[in-house]
Structure 1
Amino acid sequence: MVALAYLLGGFTDFQHLGMFNRLHLAQLVFGSEAADAAMSEAAAVLDRWGYRSQARDAGRQLPGVLAQALLINGSPRLADLSTEAFARLRGHPAAAGRQHQTTLFALQKAAADLGYCQPPVRPGRNQMPVIEGADPAWAQWVEQWHATSALTPRVRAIIRTIMAKAGRWLAAEHPQITEPGQWTRQTCAAWVAAVDRMSVGDYVQRTDALGGRAGKPVSPRTKAHQLMATRVFFRDCQEWEWIPRRFDPVRALGVPRSVSALIGTDPRVIADDVWAKLLHAGLNIEAGDLPGTSAGSYYPVELIRALTLTWLFSGLRSDEIVRLRTGCIRWQHDGMPVPADSREILAGEAVCLLDVPVHKTGTAFTKPVDPIVGQAIETWQALRPAQPPRTDRKTGEQASLLFSVRAHPVARAYINRTIIPALCAKAGVPAADVRGNITSHRARSTIASQLYNAKEPMTLFELQAWLGHRTPTSTQHYAKITPNTLTRAYTEAGYFARNIRTIEVLIDRDAVTSGAAAAGQPWQHYDLGHGYCTYNFFEQCPHRMACARCDFYLPKDSGKAQLLEAKDNLQRMLVSIPLTVDERAAVEDGQTALDTLLTRLAGVATPAGTTPRETDPPPGATSLPIAAITHPRHG
């Protein structure tokens, strides 16, 4: 009955019939041979791309969607599904539903690969909303700039949005200004002030995506970005001679110092214990750890594992990861390339090299990575279905992207939206810490910080080459010294020990208990190594590093000193003595500094009242040797 309605009355409102076998209907209308031929032609392309082998749901939906497309188009030939035909199919009521549209999207990709139509464009891709709320003349200038600028599409779209916001501000505050040529330095100053006082949601076209952020102050970094976009817009308009040069955009639209002072680079390194748990979870990730449908995860587990390990160990940006090419892994041993079939060397000390494409700040480069990354990538590459070349959005060249399946590359946001939450859940760690959400770029910061603070750390220039930065200035933002490294360096510097030295002091308890100490008899003896000093204020004596003839000095080879050492009731203690600059030099620099010190002290009175120049040193008296002063850590 449905076939008769189709043939006699052109009935195509299949959405009213609910679930029924559309493929059987197409076979009745066009004949089994013609319908099956179109089905086989489309399925061959989709099978080659990994559709039916990786997603059973898509395989079951393809016959019904293709049969309905042929029926609505009125032809059993796949070649008759042109670009215009697919546009009509998407707007047909029978094609409503997300799954139906997704399968129709895949079908158009297959038809485009066969040369029957143009490739499909995802909804919203390269489609800008009409600027509303601004003067039409201003909106026309913004659209003209957007069509002329040579910046990347994403950057052009961001600047277009900000300049549309400036147009709404003009319409509200300065309606007499409708063109860029009417701006003056006073207008620029007013716009800078407006940006500085702006809140989230001010002068925007849509507020549905703001959530609970509406009304909150704009961050300093966002203010700087908005002023940067305004500078670019007016600079281009002036250089292209669209408007006269009435002001310098760099100066008139510069970021105020009060705002720039609040902006600082913060790589937001992940804590070592959390990062270790994420590494363990990534090394053991399975398909069941990620959300999916009844048919399993959308992506093959080999792709997920290779993508995860690349993020955990390579230190690449998410855009660089999803734009890696097939064949990006190379192996070397002793500086020589390793053949792909030589597993003996790969099991030993082979070096894995990763070729990184053109990126944010520079050209393509090669970096060493852990062998586990290369092994995971090669495992996925061996199972990867043949994919059509894709246009690299950064370089514009046709490239065979590594992380691609079903003729479409992995989205750049897949790591943040799917991989990281799954790893956090598997590792039992929160998806955010005191520094914010755990994102893909924080892994880059963490790896760089650990390499810089390792036991055998990378130098700043080595780390710059490994990260692919253009200048060392960018690398310095990542090369943060951890508190552990700083503590170890401070301890090894010996700041306290450099200014304080510890010597042994003997306390004569008999002299104290008998009252002889009160009568002036020595009771405290500083061990100088070669003798003892009985001066109670030894730490204040300028001659303590070079004892000349002094009544308070007891050489150890004298009988008096031997009697002192023979006492049984001596109490031993350690005293820390602060050193002067000259004394510290004598300890650290040796005999030269000691001779200089002796010369300088020749005219300084000793505790006995005489100076070294006035008396000759007694026989056997020597200067305090350096070995007699001990470090607190060594006793």
Structure 2
Amino acid sequence: MIGGGVVLREAEVTAIGELGLGNLRRLKWHDPDAPGWAAIRRLLRPLELADSSLDSPPTSHRCRATADATAVLLLRCAQSGRAYWGWTAEEWVEVVGADQAGFRRSAPAWADDAVRSYVANHAYLLGAFNEFHRLGSFQRLPLARRIFGRTRVDSEIRKVRAVLAGWGYQLGRDDDKLLPMVVCQLFLLNRSPHLEDLATEPFDRVRAERLFGSGARLNTLHAVQRAVAALGFCRPPVLTTGRTTPKAGGAPQVWTQWVERWHATSTLTPNTRGGVRSNLLKIGRWAAAEQPDAADPAAWTRQTCASLVAALDRMNVGDYAERTIGLKDRLGKPLEASTKASQLAAVRTFFRDCQEWEWLPRRFDPQRALATPRSIAALLGPDPRVIADDIWAKLLWAGLNLEPDDLPVNQAGFFYPLELVRAVTLTWLFSGQRSDEIARLRVGCIRWQYDGHNIRGDASDVLARDAICLLDVPTHKTGTSFTKPIDPLMGEAIEAWQAIRPAQPKMVDRRTGEQADFLFAFRARRVPATYINGTIIPLPCRKAGVPAADVRGNITSHRARSTIASQLYNAKEPMTLFELQAWLGHRSPQSTQFYAKITPTTLTKAYDDAGYFARNVRTIEVLLDRDAVTNGAAAAGQPWQYYDLGHGFCNYTFFEQCQHRMACAKCDFYTPKNSTKAQLLEAKENLQRMSVSIPLTDDERAAVDDGQAALDRLLDQLIDVPTPAGPTPRDLSIPATATLLPIVDVRQGTDSLRP
């Protein structure tokens, strides 16, 4: 123990009082053999040794500050009756002060901030005090430099900076002040200035005791631990997603035990496994309320499964839920078909696995007994939501013209460099990939090819004008890795990012389990898939002045995939279904069909090209004799309208009802064009020309469109049909095999006028 007992002797208390404040502050000039000073020798000696061990130049300012700090401690010893080496952490906090104002309240008026700093030195060296997180905004860097040595502390900090700077951290800059503070706090807590002594425990203690609270300091602590782990001195920090496994409440104990056993054994991905667990706990609460005998999965029968399927079909949002916070206006509404199907799938998975693992007897087939009913399955299916062409065009423009002013800024500036943000944005706009696939792209995923030969991607190479840009897509949701062509603009943006990308450590690909060099990684961390929906998509939306949601919902990463696929399928030279399947990376063409949406414009053009109206209606010229109408001759029965048949005119008023209209039998209503009557008719000045539409039967349409054979068939059908004048073509002595021209002046159109 330093200096003997903790309790002050009566002579020591008396000596401190007799020396007084003035003599105590002039410690440098004291006579150690004088009676008063000799009485408190055991209190002075440790303070002198601690002062001599500090790495601080012996200036007059330091001498005054150390003397004043000694005076403060000796006075407090006299007041408390106990030596400083026996003080508790609470007593030291009271002496040093929870902040500057607290120190000034307890210390003499002449004690300034420098005095407080040296009091803290003695607290650390002589009182085993290291709870500096309780001292407010205390200058930990100067304190650590004085205690451990400036050269040693700065050297260790530079090692951490070098690692972080190599990963792209702004903490790696020399002007950053947060990193030295955190590192020095760890040194003080660990009572060692060496990084190799920083094991995992100090980092865990800081988090467990919340010594840094939250925010920037905690983020910096995370970065420092990653750097120390990269140097090989501790374990890397555990990456937490903020999600915790909810407690199993409300379900029967036996059911919960089975669910937890399945959860601990299943090899599904963590998110999928957690979702199945939540659904199973809900089913357990239903069983406790409606089927008490089914609390044990071993007691389930086909009848129990049928009851569950019926109950799920009638459930509402919030039924049998442990918590309803966050449901808001959805509470009490019927479950969506997708929710019903996912909950049935969870129960199917549970019983299938338990039977496969021989935990439960095979009393029923889960695939049949818990199958999704047809009424629910009919409402399911992928529903890709295409973004409108005008909005998509604006987003493309905004993505191609991103500038630094468009990036989100926090207190430390840009979180990601502009080149990375632009590369991710163009990848979203051009690649047609899922957000998970974009986040998992590898370094070197872009390749250039020209005339079947690869072109090196070095910056010194000049790419051929017609070079093809290829993208290597990693193993994804529905298949293995594959290669697809993309727009060169995206390839150039990715190569611009690769050119400045700091070297990053390899990280584990959770889908494949391999160590991968991710393309979109910065500060030794992969850009999360959620970054696309949360940050990337709002950037071009703001720049283009379009809302982040339309009538079909929020603009998400997957909607871009649907939009690109739809545009490729509806292009002027469209991709076939199988080509689009290969480009999207789908396992089956059925999945691609959901993405290959025919746009209304393409459908309209195809409808017009089909000529639905023109196929069933034809226009024919008609001549109107206006004199016959105005002088009353038409009312007396004189012809006033003449249908131009090409080889003659027909003055039958109800021409559109004549069965011989397309194969004129030349009855009494017919006037040939080479006749004098027809010439006189065409010479009339008051003649008005117009066109009318007449509907066609299938046989008449075939006679017009298909030629002589169809005309002959039509003549055979009409040989005994009376003409408007009465006689049949047979009576008119026209053979059935005669070659009669249809209306040669017939033309398609929809701008005709009806009489």
Deviations 1:155-214 (A, max 9, x none): 111111211222232333334433321222232233223333333333334444445544
Q: How many angstroms does 1:397 deviate by?
A: 0.6
Structure 1 residues 5, 121: closer, same or farther in 2, change over 3 A?
Answer: same
Question: Residue in 2 aligned with 1:307?
Answer: 424
Counting only pairs closer than 5 Å after superposition, residues 157-556 of structure 1 correspond to structure 2 as 157-341=274-458, 346=463, 348-556=465-673
SS of 2:240's equivalent? coil
Moved more, 194-203 or 275-284: 194-203
Question: Residue in 2 aligned with 1:24?
Answer: 142
**Superposition TM-score, scaled by structure 1 size:** 0.94
Q: Distance in 2 between matches of 1:581 and 1:141?
A: 70
Deviations 1:450-482 (A, max 9, x none): 111122211111111111111111111111111
Q: Confirm or deny that 1:3 pairs with 2:3.
A: no
Q: Distance in 2 between matches of 1:611 and 1:492?
A: 39
Q: Distance in 1 between matches of 2:409 and 2:322?
A: 35
Q: Confirm or deny that 1:91 pairs with 2:243.
A: no
Q: Distance in 1 between matches of 2:546 and 2:369?
A: 47
Question: Residue in 2 aligned with 1:45?
Answer: 163
Deviations 1:385-439 (A, max 9, x none): 1111011011111100011101101111111111222322222122211111111
Deviations 1:526-579 (A, max 9, x none): 001111111112112121222224111111111111111111111222111100
Question: Residue in 2 aligned with 1:72?
Answer: 189
Q: How many angstroms does 1:443 deviate by?
A: 1.0
Q: Is the 8 A contact 1:338 1:345 kept in 2?
A: no
Structure 1 residues 195, 83: closer, same or farther in 2, change over 3 A?
Answer: farther
Moved more, 132-141 or 193-202: 193-202
Q: Confirm or deny that 1:15 pairs with 2:104.
A: no
Q: How many angstroms does 1:630 deviate by?
A: 1.0
Structure 1 residues 419, 32: closer, same or farther in 2, change over 3 A?
Answer: same
Question: Residue in 2 aligned with 1:144?
Answer: 261
Deviations 1:502-549 (A, max 9, x none): 001111223333333334332221001111111112112121222224
Structure 1 residues 295, 98: closer, same or farther in 2, change over 3 A?
Answer: closer
Counting only pairs closer than 5 Å after superposition, residues 594-609 of structure 1 correspond to structure 2 as 594-609=711-726
Q: How many angstroms does 1:272 deviate by?
A: 1.5
Structure 1 residues 123, 212: closer, same or farther in 2, change over 3 A?
Answer: farther
Letter paired with 2:229: A
Moved more, 453-462 or 351-360: 453-462
SS of 1:574's equivalent? strand
Q: Confirm or deny that 1:557 pairs with 2:677.
A: no
Structure 1 residues 170, 426: closer, same or farther in 2, change over 3 A?
Answer: same
Deviations 1:568-619 (A, max 9, x none): 111222111100111101111111211221222222222222222233349x
Q: Is the 8 A contact 2:645 2:744 kept in 1?
A: no
SS of 1:632's equivalent? coil
Q: Is the 8 A contact 1:13 1:93 kept in 2?
A: no
Moved more, 289-298 or 267-276: 289-298
Q: Is the 8 A contact 2:703 2:742 kept in 1?
A: no
Q: How many angstroms does 1:99 deviate by?
A: 1.8
Deviations 1:359-386 (A, max 9, x none): 1111111111111101111111111111
Deviations 1:208-259 (A, max 9, x none): 4445544443322111111111111111111111101122212222223333
Moved more, 443-452 or 189-198: 189-198
Q: Is the 8 A contact 2:645 2:743 kept in 1?
A: no
| Larger relative contact order (CA 8 Å, sep ≥ 6) | 1
Q: How many angstroms does 1:321 deviate by?
A: 0.5
Structure 1 residues 178, 437: closer, same or farther in 2, change over 3 A?
Answer: same
Q: Is the 8 A contact 2:664 2:742 kept in 1?
A: no
Q: How many angstroms does 1:93 deviate by?
A: 4.1
- 5+ long unaligned stretches in structure 1: none
Matched-pair identity in %: 64
Structure 1 residues 159, 56: closer, same or farther in 2, change over 3 A?
Answer: farther
- Of 184, 199, 221, which aligns to 1:104? 221
Q: Is the 8 A contact 2:161 2:171 kept in 1?
A: no
Q: Confirm or deny that 1:623 pairs with 2:740.
A: yes
C-alpha RMSD over aligned residues? 2.3
Q: Is the 8 A contact 1:549 1:616 kept in 2?
A: no
Moved more, 213-222 or 497-506: 213-222
Q: How many angstroms does 1:54 deviate by?
A: 7.9
Q: Is the 8 A contact 1:54 1:300 kept in 2?
A: no
Q: How many angstroms does 1:51 deviate by?
A: 0.8
Q: Distance in 2 between matches of 1:539 and 1:606?
A: 13
Structure 1 residues 423, 200: closer, same or farther in 2, change over 3 A?
Answer: farther
Q: Distance in 1 between matches of 2:313 and 2:201?
A: 48
Aligned length: 632
Letter paired with 1:441: H
Deviations 1:74-127 (A, max 9, x none): 222212222333222322342222222211111121122222222211235685
Deviations 1:119-151 (A, max 9, x none): 211235685343232233222211221222222
SS of 2:623's equivalent? strand
Q: Distance in 1 between matches of 2:157 and 2:547?
A: 47
Q: Is the 8 A contact 1:531 1:556 kept in 2?
A: yes
Q: Distance in 1 between matches of 2:162 and 2:683?
A: 103
Letter paired with 2:274: A
Q: Is the 8 A contact 1:15 1:93 kept in 2?
A: no
Q: Distance in 2 between matches of 1:36 and 1:17?
A: 23
Structure 1 residues 7, 175: closer, same or farther in 2, change over 3 A?
Answer: farther
Q: Is the 8 A contact 2:626 2:688 kept in 1?
A: yes
SS of 1:95's equivalent? coil
Q: Is the 8 A contact 2:162 2:172 kept in 1?
A: no
Q: Is the 8 A contact 1:290 1:418 kept in 2?
A: no
Q: Distance in 1 between matches of 2:157 and 2:697?
A: 93
Q: Distance in 2 between matches of 1:467 and 1:293?
A: 36
Question: Residue in 2 aligned with 1:574?
Answer: 691
Q: Distance in 2 between matches of 1:596 and 1:576?
A: 24
Letter paired with 1:421: P
Q: Distance in 2 between matches of 1:84 and 1:342?
A: 45
**Superposition TM-score, scaled by structure 2 size:** 0.80
